[in-house]
Chains A and B, each alone.
Chain A
């Protein structure tokens, strides 16, 4: 089955700096890669997703890149703000009947003012 590794587990940056979170996956058939943000005590919420037919997707200060050959994908946050502080989860799914969405263990991002 799919296995998703996420690094780092914690990340601290200064406000205005960029943050990068990386994930690797094991199932080469995986083709859907969402990222969820979970603020303290709240529910996970989708912030961006990418499918395997594209290599990069951007939404304002957030971008995700996908390298299918190396089986890794990354979340990039530019011009970080204190409200970006949260736990970020990557996930991967092959969408098939046995293709459950598998989540990484999460990265706790702290943005210091």
Chain B
């Protein structure tokens, strides 16, 4: 398996623009997670899905953030409109049995909002 695949690797956009990050989990993993990593706040869970259903989105910063998982092999995280404080590395991860089992992270998307 190729592991968790994220795209794009880097995204530079201007404030106010829409940003869409993409993730393909490992086949057979029922759980998918979106994390944000910054120097100040470390690794923060934004949202996670079980069998394509959002389970906990309490970490989503505000209504500008939304996430979807239309099928078992694809998820998106959208920010609209983007702001400079959204600049961070966004990781997608998947696991077999939720947060009580090993997480397999993608390579991340480094987002810069100017």
A45 proximity list for chain B (CB < 8 A)? 105
B100 proximity list for chain A (CB < 8 A)? 32, 93, 95, 99, 101
A106 proximity list for chain B (CB < 8 A)? 42-43
A95 proximity list for chain B (CB < 8 A)? 98-100
- Total A-B pairs in contact (CB under 8 Å)? 44
Residue A100 is within 8 A (CB to CB) of chain B in the complex: yes
Q: Are B106 and A43 in contact (CB under 8 A)?
A: yes
Residue B14 is within 8 A (CB to CB) of chain A in the complex: no
- What interface size band does chain B fall in? 10 to 19
Q: Are B42 and A44 in contact (CB under 8 A)?
A: no
Grouping DSSP codes into helix (H, G, I), strand (E, B) and loop, the B interface class, with mixed when no group exceeds half, is mixed
Q: Which residue from chain A places its CB closest to the CB of B42 in the assembled complex?
A: A105
Q: Are A99 and B99 in contact (CB under 8 A)?
A: yes
Instruction: Point out the residue from A43, A46, A104 that lies within 8 Å of B91, measured CB to CB.
Output: A43
CA A7 to CA B41, docked complex, whole Å:
15
B42 proximity list for chain A (CB < 8 A)? 89, 103-106
Interface residues of A in 54-113 (CB under 8 A from B): 89, 93, 95, 98-101, 103-106
Residue B113 is within 8 A (CB to CB) of chain A in the complex: no
A46 proximity list for chain B (CB < 8 A)? 102-103
Q: Chain A: how many interface residues by the 8 Å CB criterion?
A: 20
B103 proximity list for chain A (CB < 8 A)? 34, 36, 44, 46, 101
Which residues in B have some Cβ–Cβ distance to A below 8 Å?
42-43, 45, 48, 56, 59, 91, 98-100, 102-103, 105-108
Which residues in A have some Cβ–Cβ distance to B below 8 Å?
32, 34, 36, 42-46, 49, 89, 93, 95, 98-101, 103-106
